[in-house]
Chains A and B, each alone.
Chain A
Amino acid sequence: MTPLIELAGVTKVLKGQQQPRTILSGVDLTVHSGESVAVVGRSGSGKSTLLSLVGLFDRPTGGQYLLHGRDITRLSERRAAALRSAEFGFVFQRFFLLKHLTAVQNVAMALVNGQGWLPRRKRKARAIAALDRVGIAHLAKHKPPRLSGGEQQRVAIARALVREPRLVLADEPTGALDTETGNLVIDVLHSATERGCGLILVTHDWDHARRMGRVLRLQDGTLADAGPEEVVRERAASVGGPDIGGLAAGAAGGMLGGMVVA
């Protein structure tokens, strides 16, 4: 089966202050339809940069990028925009809702992007359906300042899902939320994959990472599988706790989730 996306030896070199900086030095990544992948890594390791390449915000410096087996490494801006609209959905740490629009208008905004035209009533129906999928159809008429953080993030997820994308790219979507709300948001994202949609989740939260089908770690510009022990070690490190081998086995089994927090 053709993978949804396939990155091979992708590099990204950014213009630094003095000399060019290599952010990604050869990333290999394959994601299939309906598969969920977590990407973890230190701050500044290039996770957002990787997502911006996958989501066609930016172009890689080298390597190859296939979408459904088709090479899209070098695309015109116009076709990249069309693919962003049709293939990808984006969720960010900050929700980026437009303050002057209601929830339903914020979702419908992804349908008013010059890629095809839907009459107002159809736009509204689809936006309401997307809001319903994330469980907040009743808040359709509310403007962002009247929504809680979790509700705002769910509006943003509805916006990402409204065009039925093949791959959702989420860059720390729970970063600005408390644990409980964060879990809810991950539930919502996870349920999208049950409908055959791929998901790449960038997160610092190992509890969330564990719930994805695979956990990958970005380090020194490359991606590698992160095993269960490493997951636990990272988690312990990230919360400043001791790196105890005994804990690792338990956490990997999902038993001691929240208890490691000192």
Chain B
Amino acid sequence: MIRLSGRARSALIIGVQGIRARKLRTLLSMMSLFLGVLAVVAVQAGAEIGQRALLSDVELVQGKDGTLRMYLPPDPHTASVAIDALKGRGDAVASFTTSATIGEPGVTPINPGGAPLDRDNNEGYAGPAGPVFCDSRGYCFGQPAVNQPKGAAIQLSLVAMTGDIRQFQPFRPVSGQWLDFASAPSLGPRIVLNKAAAIGFARYRIPAQLSVGSGVDATPRIVGVVDDGNDQPTAYVRTDELLNWMPVDSMSNGGGLQVMLSPAATGELQVLRTRLIAAGIPAGQLQVEPIDAKKHIATELTLVRRVFLGLAALVLLIGVGGILNVGLATVGERVEEFALRRAVGTSRLLLAAIVLAETLLTGLFTAAAAVGTGALVLKAASTVLAGREPFLQDIGFPWQAGAAGVIAGLIAGLLGGLIPAIRAARIPIASIMRA
């Protein structure tokens, strides 16, 4: 235990006695502060959790904070150069996105254009039929619709990767396994579907037949499902397994070529750039940009946070008012006690400290109660809602919220106790003789 000085101990003892003597009054002064601190805790916890939830969603789609990303221009050489340069590299992954169809060959897919499947009526979708290609600038173009009968096929984005992309985009496993990049490539490509694609497989009877581009057919093996935060049906595959079925040049056609590198992979980046430039790609087209996921959400959250903190500050102010009000009334009532304490040798300063100790303890108790309540509510909410909101699953009470609550309680205790403390210290001792 911390060794407190005799004076501090005296202040604590008398403060606790004072609080115990006026339990109801203390409770009343705690009420508004309790709500205020609870509001501060809720704002802080909400912001932390919201940030985490948003961050994990943003990271799924965009990539982890700090990851370097380089879009490769659509050029017949880029794919082969990238695959060659990044072969066996752990911290740099090239991915190629093409359109593919899984299911009966030669039919119009259930979701022409790779539209999301969870819409009930896909017929209403106005997107172009047939494969759609999008370039890095978001410019999409479709092929003219061929008159084909509608059949049991799903059109999806096929993402081929030279390495494990989850180090940059932490997809959440839903079922089955993720691709094993360490094993030898197999002839039949193993694919992992995202949730949006898995819906189609659950709802329709889709034969396992993969068509990529024009007429290349393979028999894929679906090994797992992940949540990648994407509404578009998507399938993930190892580049080397896909290359058994389609030429490397056609990978560059799709336009969705990008390389993700960990911030430390400067060597790989250097090699890749050099080789791409050597292959005739203009250096100006090889832009590398770091992913700034935090900044992205920070701006979204700042406003909400400010508004709520403003509200919390207001409620806290009311809490200070409550303590101040009760504190002043109490000092008025305790004039005799305070004069008596001074008469028996308590110094002016210590007397002020006693009054402050009481309000600080009240603030601290209140904050502890509010933080505890907040933590309990969060726990209950996460247990009840974890099924619906996966990000709530393993959320602990953010310590920042607890700290903010305790600080708020102490500040309220200090502000609410200061004036009563000064008043108490000013009481003349002689007033006890005329009481």
Contact = CB atoms under 8 A, between A and B. Distances in A.
B348 interface: yes
Interface residues of B, number: 32
Contact of A114 (B21, B343, B347): B347
Nearest to A53: B430
B345 interface: yes
Interface stretch (A93-101, A145-153, A176-184, A231-239): A93-101
Contact of A112 (B13, B347, B430): B13
Contacts, number: 91
A159 interface: yes
Interface in B200-215: none
Interface stretch (A2-10, A32-40, A83-91, A241-249): A83-91
B433 A48 contact: yes
Interface string B347-378: 11110000000000000000000000000000
B339 to A, nearest CB: 8
A171 B433 contact: yes
Interface residues on A, range: 20 to 34
A58 B20 CA distance: 32
Contacts of A85: 344-346
A77 interface: yes
A61 interface: no
A67 to B, nearest CB: 15
Nearest to A84: B345
A116 interface: yes
A78 interface: yes
B6 A51 contact: no
A51 B429 CA distance: 12
Interface string A131-164: 0000000000000000000000000000100010
Given A90-B344, A113-B10, A113-B345, A57 B350 contact: no
A113 B428 contact: no
Interface in B1-18: 5-7, 9-11, 13-14, 17
Contact of B345 (A52, A81, A94, A101): A81
Contacts of A90: 343-344
A206 interface: no
Contacts of B340: 96, 98
A174 to B, nearest CB: 15
A136 B13 CA distance: 25
B434 interface: yes
B381 interface: no
B336 interface: yes
B432 A96 contact: yes
A198 interface: no
Contacts of B428: 57-58
B432 A81 contact: no
Interface string B318-344: 000000000000000000110011111
Contact of A77 (B10, B347, B432): B347
A109 interface: yes
Question: Which 3 residue pairs are nearest across A and B when measured between Cβ atoms?
Answer: A85-B345, A117-B6, A100-B21
Interface of B: 5-7, 9-11, 13-14, 17, 20-22, 336-337, 340-350, 428-430, 432-435
Given A81-B345, A114-B346, 9 more contacts: A58-B429, A81-B350, A84-B344, A96-B432, A96-B435, A98-B340, A100-B20, A105-B17, A112-B10
